[in-house]
Amino acid sequence: MKAKVLITAKEVDDIVVSELESMNYDVSHLPEPSEEQLLDVIGEYEGLIITTYTKVNKKVLAKAEKLKFVGRVGAGLENVDEQAAQEKGVAVFNSPEGNCNAVGEHALGLLLSVMNHIASANMEVKNGIWQREENRGEELDGKVVGIIGLGHTGTAFAKKLRGFDVEVLAYDKYKENYGTDFIKEVSLDELLQRADIISFHIPYSKSNHHFLNVSMIEKMQQKPYIMHTCRGAVMDTKAVLNALETQEIKALGIDVYEDEPWTKGKQVEIDSYKKLFSLKNVTATPHIAGWTKESKIKLAQVLMQKIKIWKTTQ
């Protein structure tokens, strides 16, 4: 009897299924199950392919008697209890290399849109409102750009900036000696003091919960543009909303939220989100920074290659 793999991702590229089948797995699909649904079936499976919305916690792992690997189509592993998986001998894979270019491009697009009022001016024109002076923008050239987190997506964003006359500063608490000819390694305090634009590219963890908070905002001396494309709970939504209203932050480009969709209103009240999205200096997208046609393929390819290599060692 073939070993079985369960895919809980709502949509994955066909490469995932074909590659798993080529590894002699019997593949099943249960899109975005509840925890109860997952607990009912997980004991049958040797492999599990997930995205953001399936939690692989201690309870799930305890029921997963046959489980040997978890594959995350994407970057973040905050929904997987990696320590519990390691203790159980379950290998965990992700594929941040697959959508880093997409996130880099999206972050740049958000930044240019926010600095030049593109999204808000678009809506005004479509509603018959013609305002030129009110939509006068700012140029990126000459600015200091701070990147917090210089992993796959932070590095990709930095590469997109090479065509502009900007100074790029970076801070990464997980690395050392990561500066390049184009990127200057600095302390967090220096970045916060000097940056006209700050883009966040860090993973979510308990220690990074509300990393962007009131205390950090108080250290931002340039009233910067903020780009937020990593994980929702890295940013304290209410603190940023207040800073936008008091003009401590110039504008916000945001793709990730403490609640997804924000209409759930579990972590932050819906009224706070409504206030945030009512501001002209906020441009928002629905967690699509890494969501391109190309990245869908690359994410699958990267993940499957890692699983294939692992399987040859078993």
Residues with a catalytic annotation lie at 231, 260, 287
Do residues 146 and 122 lie in contact, with contact meaning Cβ atoms separated by under 8 Å? no
Distance between CA 220 and CA 248 in Å, rounded? 8
Would you call 157 exposed, middle or buried from its count of C-beta atoms within 10 A (0-12, 13-18, 19+)?
buried
Tell me, what amino acid is at 122?
N
Q: Which residues, other chains included, contact 269 with Cβ-Cβ below 8 Å and sequence gap of 6+? A: none
DSSP string, 41-57: HGGG-SEEEE-TT--B-
For the chain, list the strands marked E by DSSP.
3-7, 25-29, 47-50, 69-72, 91-93, 144-148, 167-171, 183-185, 197-200, 225-228, 251-254, 282-284
SS3 state at 249: coil
Q: Which one, of 115, 121, 282, lies nearest residue 196 by Cα? A: 115
- In sequence order, what are the residues at sequence separation of 6 or more whose Cβ sits closer than 8 angstroms to the Cβ of residue 88? 61, 64, 67
DSSP string for residues in 63-89: H-TT--EEEESSS--TTB-HHHHHHHT
How far apart CA 130 and CA 228 sit, in angstroms, is: 29
CA distance 14 to 12: 6
